[in-house]
Structure 1
Amino acid sequence: MTTRVMKSATRHALKGSLTAARYGGRAAVLGMRTGIRRTQRFPALPELPAGRLLDLPGRGEAFVVDTGAPAGDPGAPTLLLFHGLATTSYLTWFSTLAELAATHRVVMLDQRWHGRGIVSERFSLEDCVDDAAAVLDQLGIASVVAVGYSMGGALAQLFWRRHPERTAGLVLASTAACWSQTRGDAMFYPTLHKANDRFRDRYRQRVLEVRAGLGDERHVGAEMSTWAWGEFRSTSAWAMPEVLGALGRFDARPWLGEVDVPTAVVVTGRDHAIATSRQRALAAAIPGATVHETPGGHASVVFDVHRWRPVFLAAVDEVVRHARPVTN
């Protein structure tokens, strides 16, 4: 490949990743704003648990939500929730938090380069899961059932890989074992990596500017679409090339067969973001993993929550029932 062609491909990769982040995500939330006003299919915004900035020695300050143990059950299992790409912990999990917190202690955090997450020199999935382990250290939690949606599913897999002694089980929703599988991926991600090496400092500065404009407390308004729009905008579109580059390098296939904890895979049957076949392949690669299928698309966690939520909650209950003993 000539230098001129490489430069052109780099520009196209950068432009494509920014366009997807900036316009695709905004269109989804704008659709949410319109749809919520016109139909009752979407959940009302529930009362959300408060979060706080938590200092992680040597790592930075992470925005963490900890619901604590449910009333009357101090020994309840802990769920560690990992959110999706270009969102936040609240925006991914708001529709299921009340049900989860009723019977579990729930811990979640904004990942690096997302929302109020840590803005490091560069983004890596490994840093994200090590941040989560550091949060557990600060909260005095020994082990958890790791739960992830989309990008968060990759993080949950990697959490088991890097912290197996802290992982009592896995729930993996609308996710895959690898992000780079097609010929197009094989061209896109290496080119994106080159662009990231060149422009990372610029991305990071833009992400820092957005992060600096956010207060320490989340404003939870009464109106769902306004809240969702504000939550979405708390993650800079300029974070996306860097984050997508890290996802392009993720590949759990060489070690998924070693997973030794109860695992449930929640498959979205009409998913156009992460193909259903890839979700099923993930389940097939994990010994003993069970499949729980829902009929909607990748955004079912919000747009099809009434059908998605009971299947997801059943998957969580199954893993918790069979999880290895936890002492927190």
Structure 2
Amino acid sequence: MTTRVIKSVGRTAVRTAVDGVRTGIRRTQRFPALPELPAGRVLDLPGRGETFVVDTGEPAPGAPTLLLFHGLATTSYLTWFSTLAELRATHRIVMLDQRWHGRGIASERFSLEDCVDDAAAVLDELGIGSVIAVGYSMGGALAQLFWRRHGERTAGLVLASTAACWKETVGDAMFYPVLGAANARFHGHYLARVREVRAGLADDRHVGEEMSTWAWGEFRSTSAWAMPEVLGALGGFDARPWLGEIDVPTAVVVTARDHAIPTARQRAMAAAIPDATVHETPGGHASVVFDVNHWRPVFLAAVAEVVTRSASYRTIRS
């Protein structure tokens, strides 16, 4: 395998992520002004590092807590800004920037396991016991893995535009090994660029009121050079051997015209989870941002269903 091929794969991973999000963010010019976002803070996780965390607190005593996992190449704000107002009205919201993303931990390596353990450490610091884990795209893989590693803290799952495995086709089988070789060879360069971007970020996350300007700035807070490392970790994720063991109320939000994570993969994941319900939206993979009017009511209904079912589930278990 030549160095030229390895470099080409690394550059392709970076370019694909950047171009896709850049094109989409331009569409936000048709959106209204940026909604008011809940404040966050940098939280030091002992032995792990510092990450940016949002905790909205309880809107009422006993309100359920949603732990939100964001998507690939984005941040917690950029993935969830369009739904936070509705969610925080009746739920406590906790979310964090994942490793190698935004103001997340710029660790030596990126792993999905470290990400979900970071989330558990955040809950420890905030004194929170159980949560409903909610994930979009990459965040859906993290939510599944959170149940796997921290099942005692998981009261339910909401999985949106995601799958149980990223490496299924012949093309995937060819791409990910080459990407892994690129990551092994150029890891030092990737990490240096990630840390450089991370160190240069301002404290103010809400600059200006114009949506596309804010969204582009939020997207650029994640170095494009993080993508080969993160994609490599996703290529090794495979929840299929244990999906059938998931024992908490689960709702799957399917994006019907999804080309990033084919709808068939989303449905296959849902079918493998016992008693999972399916909620379909008509748009593509980035519906959480670019098709909000269709996506949001379906997503909110999925969350409400899992919250209701999880209350009964906890009563039965106790």
Question: Which of the five TM-score ranges fits, normalised by the shorter chain?
Answer: over 0.9
Residues 18 and 225 (structure 1 numbering): CA distance in 2 closer, same or farther, change over 3 Å?
same
How far apart in 2 are the matches of 1:11 and 1:205? 16
Give ranges in structure 1 of 5+ residues lacking alignment: 37-41
Deviation at 1:325, TM superposition (A): 2.9
How far apart in 2 are the matches of 1:95 and 1:220? 17
Q: Does 1:47 align with 2:43?
A: no
How many residues get paired?
Answer: 313
How far apart in 1 are the matches of 2:17 and 2:281? 26
| Aligned mate of 1:224, from 211, 219, 239 | 211
Aligned to 1:214: 201
How far apart in 2 are the matches of 1:8 and 1:115? 29
Deviation at 1:74, TM superposition (A): 1.6
Higher deviation after alignment, 14-23 or 276-285: 14-23
CA offset digits 1:256-291 (Å, max 9, x no partner)? 000000000000111111111111001001000000
Q: Does 1:63 align with 2:52?
A: yes
Aligned to 1:250: 237
Give ranges in structure 2 of 5+ residues lacking alignment: none
How far apart in 2 are the matches of 1:44 and 1:182? 41
SS of the aligned residue for 1:325 comes to helix
Aligned to 1:39: none
SS of the aligned residue for 2:314 comes to coil
Aligned to 1:317: 304
Contact 1:268 1:300 in 2 (8 A): yes
SS of the aligned residue for 2:171 comes to helix
Deviation at 1:13, TM superposition (A): 1.6
* % identical aligned pairs: 78
Alignment of 1:62-141 (within 5 A): 62-70=51-59, 73-141=60-128
Aligned to 2:13: 17
TM-score, normalising length: structure 2: 0.96
Q: Does 1:26 align with 2:13?
A: no
Deviation at 1:21, TM superposition (A): 2.1
Contact 1:89 1:110 in 2 (8 A): yes
Contact 1:52 1:216 in 2 (8 A): no
What amino acid is the match of 1:91?
Answer: L
Runs of 4+ in 1 over 3 A off after TM superposition: none
How far apart in 2 are the matches of 1:161 and 1:305? 30
Residues 186 and 43 (structure 1 numbering): CA distance in 2 closer, same or farther, change over 3 Å?
farther
Deviation at 1:31, TM superposition (A): 3.5
What amino acid is the match of 1:264?
Answer: A
Deviation at 1:220, TM superposition (A): 4.0
How far apart in 2 are the matches of 1:238 and 1:300? 25
What amino acid is the match of 2:120?
Answer: A
TM-score, normalising length: structure 1: 0.93
How far apart in 2 are the matches of 1:76 and 1:325? 14
What amino acid is the match of 2:57?
Answer: G
How far apart in 2 are the matches of 1:119 and 1:171? 27
SS of the aligned residue for 1:64 comes to strand
Contact 2:102 2:221 in 1 (8 A): yes
